[in-house]
Structure 1
Amino acid sequence: MKPDVMWPVLWTVVRTYAPYVTFPVAFVVGAVGYHLEWFIRGKEPQPVEEEKSISERREDRKLDELLGKDHTQVVSLKDKLEFAPKAVLNRNRPEKN
C-alpha cells in the first residue's frame, strides 16, 4: 500500500474506535495522576468541619432560648385566645352593648 493511501484509512479507524481507546487511556492517566498527587502531598488532609446550615443554627438558637426559660410559668388559655385584633374577627358583626 502506498503511504498517501494509508493515512486516510488510519484516521478513519482511529475516528471509528476513538471512544474505545480514549476511555481506558483517560482512566489510567487519571488513576496515575490521583495516586501521584497523594504521594507528593504526603498524609491525608484533616477533614474540614462543615459549617452548620441556617436551619441547624436556628434550631440551636431556639434550644438555647428554651434552656433559659421557666417552663412552669405558662400563659393562661384566655390570653392565648386573643391572637388577633377584635376588629378583624368582628368586622361583619354589629357591636353588642
Structure 2
Amino acid sequence: MWPVIWTAMRTYAPYVTFPVAFVVGAVGYHLEWFIRGTPKPQQEEKSILELREERKLEELAGQDSTQVISLKDKLEFTPKAVLNRNRPEKS
C-alpha cells in the first residue's frame, strides 16, 4: 500500500504543493504587513543635478555678479598645452 501512496504523492505533488505554498505566502505577507503597520509616504528625493543646481544658485546669491575676473587674468594662470611642455621655447 505504501508504494501506491508514494507514487500518488510523487505524481500529484505539484498540484498539492502550489496551493499550500500560495496560502503560506499569503498568510506570511499579511502577517508581515500587520506587524510593520501601514507604510509611511516617502518624500521624493532630489536628483544629483537638482542638488548641484541649488547649491550653485545659493553660492551665486551671496556674490556680487558685477565683479567678474577678466579673461586676460584667467589666461595667465592656465597651463601650457601638454604637448608643448617639453619643447624648447622659440625666441
* TM class, shorter-length: 0.5 to 0.7
SS state at 1:81 partner: helix
1:14-25 superposed matches below 5 A: 14-25=9-20
Which deviations, in whole Å up to 9, do the C-alpha atoms of 1:47-70 show, x marking residues without a partner?
4558778x4696254443233223
Residue of structure 2 equivalent to 1:46 = 40
Aligned equivalent of 2:64: 70
Higher mean alpha-carbon deviation, 24-33 vs 87-96, is at: 87-96
Q: 1:85 aligns with which of 39, 54, 79?
A: 79
User: How many corresponding residue pairs?
Assistant: 89
Question: With structure 1 as the length reference, what TM-score do the two structures score?
Answer: 0.52
Equivalent residue letter for 2:64:
D
Give me the whole-angstrom Cα distance separating, in 2, the residues matched to 1:87 and 1:94.
13
**Is residue 33 of structure 1 aligned with residue 33 of structure 2?**
no
Letter in 1 for 2:29: Y
Show structure 2 runs of 5+ residues with no match.
Answer: none
TM score, norm. by length of structure 2: 0.54
Decide whether aligned partners of structure 1 residues 46 and 73 sit closer, same or farther in structure 2, where only a CA change above 3 A counts: same
Tell me, in whole angstroms, the C-alpha distance in 1 between the residues paired with 2:76 and 2:12: 77
Q: Percent identity?
A: 65
Q: Does 1 or 2 have the higher relative contact order (CA < 8 Å, sep 6+)?
A: 1
- Structure 1: gaps of 5 or more residues: none
Q: Distance in 1 between matches of 2:74 and 2:56?
A: 21
